[in-house]
Amino acid sequence: MSIFKSVYDYRELLKTSVTKDIGGKYKNSFLGVLWSFVNPLLQIIVYAIIFPLIMRNNIENYVVFMVCGLIPWNYFSTVINRASFTMIENGNIIKKVYFPREILPLSLVTSESVTFLISSIIILGFVLGYGMGLSIFILFYPMLLLIQYILLLGISLIVSSVTVYFRDLQHFLGVILQLLFYATPIVYSLDSIPQEFKWIFNFNPMTYIIQGYRDIFYYQQMPDIRGLLVIFGVAILLCIIGYLIFNKLQKRFAEEL
């Protein structure tokens, strides 16, 4: 359990890199932090025009339906994408100073979670804007965020350490995430999937998480607690496996970078 101690000892480093990451992102841009709203909003507008055109659906308030899936998905894919670059970006420090390397993926996931927290305002904006109101089930939001956080931490530990040795992963990930986007009920509902393909969705952890967000914001009903707990277990397992892989690979980071 020395990992918890070493991360705790270096908590100031975690804090400064999270704030530097959030603050530095839009430092030299004119719109500044507004970009974290403008970007997804533009994306929503495009998707809201395109997808109803190519895929007929009779979903009520389709835009809200999509937003509930799209924002959490963006959080998911941004973290995984950035995780594949984080070690290479920080190669300079890794080669010169010792610090617990797991701080890097940890601070990445944490700072993106803060960004997600802020962009959740967009979901709220759409839900309220369409006059759907809020329900008590919104209280499950922290639970969903926690599950997604743990899941992303596990994936990031693996992705960030493996790319040091295998740079192609960066490009593979782009393709995989693109495929996964369509294998997750983001722009369509799970009901419209033919029975024979349902299994793909059952194996995709993001299905449960996005359905969870949708339940609490859009359907305003009890999320599938049993399914989410299973995903929570999977996420914890992934974190443990991820840490073991990371710990094995990090010993040669300074030489490989």
Partner 1 sequence: MSNNTEKRIIVENVYKTFDVYLDKANSLKEKMLFWKRNRKETREVLKDVSLTINNGEAVALIGVNGSGKSTLLKLMTKIIYPNKGKVTTNGKLTSLLELGAGFHPDFSGRENIYFNASIFGLTRKEIDSRIEKIIEFSELGTYIDNPVRTYSSGMYMRLAFSVAINVDAEILLVDEILSVGDQHFQEKCLNKMKELKKEGKTMVFVTHSLESARNLCDRAIWLHKGVIKKDGETKSVIDEYLKETT
- Contact positions vs partner 1 (CB under 8 A): 9-13, 15-16, 20, 27, 92-99, 166-168, 251-252, 254-255
Q: At closest approach, how far in Å is the CB of 113 from partner 1?
A: 20
Q: At closest approach, how far in Å is the CB of 103 from partner 1?
A: 9
Q: At closest approach, how far in Å is the CB of 243 from partner 1?
A: 17
Can you tell me whether residue 100 is helix, strand or coil?
Answer: coil
Question: How far is the C-alpha of 124 from the C-alpha of 43, rounded, in Å?
Answer: 17
Can you tell me whether residue 99 is helix, strand or coil?
Answer: coil
Asked whether the CA dihedral 131, 212, 189, 155 is positive or negative, the reply is positive
How would you label 235-245 residue by residue, b for 16+ Cβ within 10 Å and e otherwise? beebbeebbee
Q: Residue count of the chain, please give it.
A: 257
Could you tell me which residues come within 8 angstroms of residue 51 by beta carbon, excluding any fewer than 6 positions away? Answer: 62, 66, 187, 188
Nearer to partner 1, 171 or 198 (CB): 171
Q: At closest approach, how far in Å is the CB of 159 from partner 1?
A: 16
